[in-house]
Amino acid sequence: MILSGVAKPWAIAVFNAAINQDITEQVLGDLASIAEVMKANPQFRAYLSSPEVLTEDKKQMLMDVFGERTAGLVMRLLGLLIEKNRFAHLEEISDAYEHLYEQRAGIAEATVITAVPLDEEVERKTVGKLERATGKTIRLNKKVDKKIIGGMIVMIEDTIIDGSIRHQLERLRNSLREVQVR
């Protein structure tokens, strides 16, 4: 995940406040829901980002739409984002908050790329091996790419493990090029 320089400090501040109030999970859900509403309603997002709309009108609109079912901390965040003209970064802040939440909860996201869809047993074994190796709960994203021919590529945190047949063939080809025939 690549974040703007704006999103991370806001997410950290909200996350720390949520920890202090013991509402990290509620804030996670609230931010995700609000970000989803913004994605689905470009006109609403445009209204909240418009310099022509008064700040108080934007805040009132947010209160009317989200106020009753949203944590006070999240509502204060939304108000501050409106005041500081940072509302356009809400989705990034939500993503950064989710990342912080998952780090604290010991959850890691792994992407597995295979040439054919994984069957349930291979998926279960792969998740088990990754959990044992990392000591974290793994959330698995599966992708199919026929170009890798066979095997799998695993990407987790800052690590890429390329066990694809294509990669092995490339390594073999490169080593054969280095062989000198007399």
3 state DSSP class of 154? strand
Pair 53, 47: CB distance under 8 Å:
yes
Residues 68 and 147 in one domain: no
Pair 161, 154: CB distance under 8 Å:
yes
Evaluate whether residue 2 is within a structural domain.
no
Q: Is residue 4 predicted with pLDDT exceeding 70?
A: no
Evaluate whether residue 127 is within a structural domain.
yes
Evaluate whether residue 1 is within a structural domain.
no
**Cα–Cα distance between 55 and 85 in angstroms, integer?**
9
Could you list the residue range(s) of the whole structural domain that residue 38 is in?
Answer: 7-103
Q: Of 2, 68, 3, which Cα lies nearest the Cα of 30?
A: 68
**pLDDT band per the 50, 70, 90 thresholds, residue 3:** low
One DSSP character per residue, 69-128 reads GS-HHHHHHHHHHHHTT-GGGHHHHHHHHHHHHHHHHTEEEEEEEESSPPPHHHHHHHHH
Residues 129 and 172 in one domain: yes
**Cα–Cα distance between 156 and 139 in angstroms, integer?**
10
- The whole-number pLDDT of residue 2 equals 53
Residues 29 and 94 in one domain: yes
Last residue of a domain, one of 71, 103, 135: 103
How many beta carbons lie within 10 A of that of residue 96, not counting itself? 24
Last residue of a domain, one of 103, 121, 140: 103
Residues 113 and 129 in one domain: yes
- The whole-number pLDDT of residue 55 equals 95
Q: Is residue 93 predicted with pLDDT exceeding 80?
A: yes
Last residue of a domain, one of 103, 133, 164: 103
CATH number of the domain at 84, please: 1.10.520.20
Residues 11 and 42 in one domain: yes
**Cα–Cα distance between 128 and 134 in angstroms, integer?**
10
- The whole-number pLDDT of residue 1 equals 52
User: Once rounded to an integer, what is the mean pLDDT over residues 14-26?
Assistant: 97
pTM to 2 decimal places: 0.74
Q: What is the pLDDT of residues 38-64, one digit of tens each?
A: 999 999 999 998 999 999 999 999 999
How many domains are there within the chain? 2
